[in-house]
Structures are given as C-alpha cells and as structure tokens.
C-alpha cells in the first residue's frame, strides 16, 4: 500500500497511473528487475534503458524529498541492487541522455551514476544502437 505522499509525488512527476498505483514497492521491484536484466545481457534498446534509469532517478528523488516514506527495508533493497548494478556497468564518456540534458537537470556522475554508465555486456539491440551512435 502506497502512502498519499508517494502517490502525490509520482503523479506530480507525470508517472502513468499503473506506476502511481504500484507506488514505492513497484519502483523498488522494477529497479531490482532492471539489475537482473542487465546481469543477463540487457535484452532491449537504449530507449528502454533510459526509461529504466529514469526509474532509478525517481527512487532517488523519493529518498531525498520524502525520506520518511521510504522504510529501511526498501533502502536496503535499493542499496543491494545498486551494488550489484555497479559491478555490471562501465563508465560512459558522457551522460547517457546527453550532456546538455545532464546540465539542464543538474545531474553529475557522482550523484546520479546511473545516468553516466552503460552495461558492460548489453544485448543485441542496445549493442547495435550504441554502434550506430
């Protein structure tokens, strides 16, 4: 069950209704699924990957803006997933959304590492798309 504060936050960020309804638990579970997908060779493309990293960003904002709504058990799960994810990634030359957007959003490699790394072993679609860049 999501708190009203979490629902309000997700709605204000423009999340679709199923994401709003799934609340914090949904975001954490989604992040864990993403880590698992990257572990097994991310099967989709860069557009999907950016969306998955946006989910991690939502978690970060939830932790920063309404920490009282993020229980310790959720924080522990996020930290565990983060540790696993970092081992699966390699630094990118720039923000994966592009440096112009990073500057606009105030993202840095130190604070929002998920926007500055790419999977070491991406699947076929992402590999092809990265080669096209």
Partner 1 sequence: MKARQALLLILVLLAAAGYSMWQRLHAALPAGAPGAGTAAEAGRAVPEAGSGTAAGSGSQAGAGSARSGATRYGAAIGFRSRERLAEHFAKHGAEFGARSADDYLALAQRLRDAPAGVEILEASRGDGVITRFDRSSGAFLAFDDDGTIRTFFRPNQGESYFRRQLARSH
User: Interface residues with partner 1 (CB under 8 A)?
Assistant: 13-19, 30, 37, 43-45, 47-48, 50-52, 54-55, 57-58, 94, 97-101, 104, 123, 125, 132-133
Distance (Å) of CA 80 to CA 58, 83, 121: 17, 5, 20
Type and span of the H or E element at 26 = helix 17-39
Q: Which is nearer to partner 1, 72 or 126 (CB)?
A: 126
Q: Which is nearer to partner 1, 18 or 72 (CB)?
A: 18
Q: How far apart are the first and last CA of the chain?
A: 42
Q: Which is nearer to partner 1, 16 or 91 (CB)?
A: 16
Give the nearest distance from C-beta 44 to partner 1 in angstroms.
Answer: 6
Q: Which is nearer to partner 1, 1 or 133 (CB)?
A: 133
CA dist 41 and 124 (Å) reads 9
Give the nearest distance from C-beta 110 to partner 1 in angstroms.
Answer: 21
CA dist 69 and 24 (Å) reads 9
């Amino acid at each position: 069950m999501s708190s009203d504060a979490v629902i309000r936050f997700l709605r204000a960020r423009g999340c679709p209704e199923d994401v709003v309804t799934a609340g914090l638990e949904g975001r954490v579970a989604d992040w864990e699924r993403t880590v698992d997908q990257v572990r097994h060779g991310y099967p989709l493309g860069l557009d999907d990957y950016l969306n998955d990293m946006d989910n991690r960003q939502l978690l970060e904002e939830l932790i920063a803006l309404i920490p009282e709504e993020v229980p310790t058990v959720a924080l522990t799960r996020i930290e565990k997933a983060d540790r696993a994810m970092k081992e699966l990634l390699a630094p990118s030359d720039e923000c994966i959304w592009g440096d112009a957007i990073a500057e606009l959003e105030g993202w840095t490699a130190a604070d929002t590492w998920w926007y500055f790394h790419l999977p070491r072993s991406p699947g076929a679609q992402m590999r092809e798309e990265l080669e096209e860049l």
